[in-house]
Amino acid sequence: MSHRIRREFVFKILDLFLKRIEMGDSSFGAIVNYYVLQSNKISIRT
């Protein structure tokens, strides 16, 4: 149950980041790119 809540929370944060990117905040874009790269590494490991 808590894992599902955490996943929804992550998606909410990513949604906020994407909205900021659309407004032209490139620093948030860099954060999202880094986060995506890290999550890809984790998914490859498991």
Distances 28 to 8, 9, 17 between C-alpha atoms, Å:
19, 17, 6
What is the tally of structural domains in the chain? Answer: 1
pLDDT tens digits in sequence order for the chain, 46 residues long: 577 778 888 888 888 877 776 666 667 677 778 888 888 776 666 5
Give me the domain span that covers residue 15. 2-45
Per-residue confidence (pLDDT) for residue 26, from 0 to 100: 64
Per-residue confidence (pLDDT) for residue 6, from 0 to 100: 83
Per-residue confidence (pLDDT) for residue 3, from 0 to 100: 72
- Dist. CA 10–CA 14, nearest whole Å: 6
